[in-house]
């Protein structure tokens, strides 16, 4: 845990000169990634779970090849995971609430333009809202659903579960990095397992983060 966490955190760097724009830098997928952050909401920061998932994608690129794969990230926030997946060759759709899309699009375009095989898309997705209208189930042919730190102190856990269920096909793999904070986080895991087979990929006790892989119940894990 300590050695891997240290390696993950070494991928982060801060600006050497202070400016009026708040940003952090990261090294993933052979690129220097600069992420603009905000101070006004939870989704405007890069949280450790995003680093854990990004590091996993990079260091397991052979087993979980993203080249030409269709990927959707829910709760993309500042966009780090979506950027890394794009740099690794995926067709990426990065989603979040409407008030976060401006900064998300800025970060994604700044760090992927002319660098990726497939230019990522940015779409609004409010969990549980107009899912069939905005993401018709017949067109949701995603190879991977990715999520980092989407379970925290908010009242939309049932809507989050509905969103996972709607986007996930029989062959879709969910890669989900979760930081445990509250007892209800464990209850959500229980609800999640009613629909999905869940496997722990790795634990990081010092960060209270667990990285999971999931598929629909009864479907063969990769």
Q: What is the pLDDT of residue 43?
A: 63
Using the structure block, give the residue that is written with the tokens 């063969």.
220
Whether 78 shows a pLDDT value over 70: the answer reads yes
pLDDT tens-digit series, residues 129-159: 999 999 999 999 999 999 999 987 667 889 9
Query: Which CATH number, 3.30.470.20, 3.20.20.80, 3.40.50.150, 3.30.2310.20, labels domain 1-216?
Result: 3.40.50.150
Which is more confident, 17 or 68?
Answer: 68
- pLDDT band for position 59 (cuts 50, 70, 90): very high
State the average pLDDT over residues 63-78. 97
Which is more confident, 221 or 72?
Answer: 72
Which is more confident, 144 or 220?
Answer: 144
Which is more confident, 144 or 41?
Answer: 144
Tell me the domain boundaries of the chain.
1-216
C-beta of residue 107 within 8 angstroms of C-beta of residue 30: no
Q: What is the pLDDT of residue 28?
A: 97
Whether 222 shows a pLDDT value over 60: the answer reads no
Q: What is the pLDDT of residue 41?
A: 65
pLDDT tens-digit series, residues 95-111: 999 999 999 999 999 99
Q: What is the pLDDT of residue 23?
A: 86
Tokens describing residue 154: 């908010």
């Amino acid at each position: 845990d300590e050695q891997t966490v240290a390696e993950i955190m070494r991928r982060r760097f801060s600006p050497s000169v202070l400016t009026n724009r708040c940003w952090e830098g990261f090294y993933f997928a052979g690129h220097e990634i600069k992420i603009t952050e905000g101070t006004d909401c939870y989704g405007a920061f890069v949280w450790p779970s995003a680093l854990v998932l990004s590091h996993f994608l990079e260091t397991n690129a052979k087993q979980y090849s993203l080249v030409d794969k269709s990927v959707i990230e829910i709760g993309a926030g500042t966009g780090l995971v979506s950027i890394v997946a794009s740099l690794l060759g995926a067709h990426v759709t990065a989603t979040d609430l409407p008030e976060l899309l401006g900064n998300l699009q800025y970060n994604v375009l700044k760090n992927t333009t002319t660098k990726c095989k497939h230019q990522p898309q940015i779409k609004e997705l409010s969990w549980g809202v107009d899912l069939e209208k905005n993401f018709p189930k017949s067109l949701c042919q995603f190879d991977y659903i990715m999520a980092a730190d989407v379970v925290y102190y908010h009242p939309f856990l049932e809507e989050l579960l509905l969103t996972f269920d709607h986007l996930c096909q029989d062959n879709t793999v969910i890669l989900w990095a979760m930081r445990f904070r509250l007892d209800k986080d464990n209850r959500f895991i229980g609800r999640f397992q009613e629909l999905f087979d869940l496997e722990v990929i790795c634990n990081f006790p010092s960060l209270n983060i667990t990285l999971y892989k999931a598929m629909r119940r009864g479907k063969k894990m990769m």
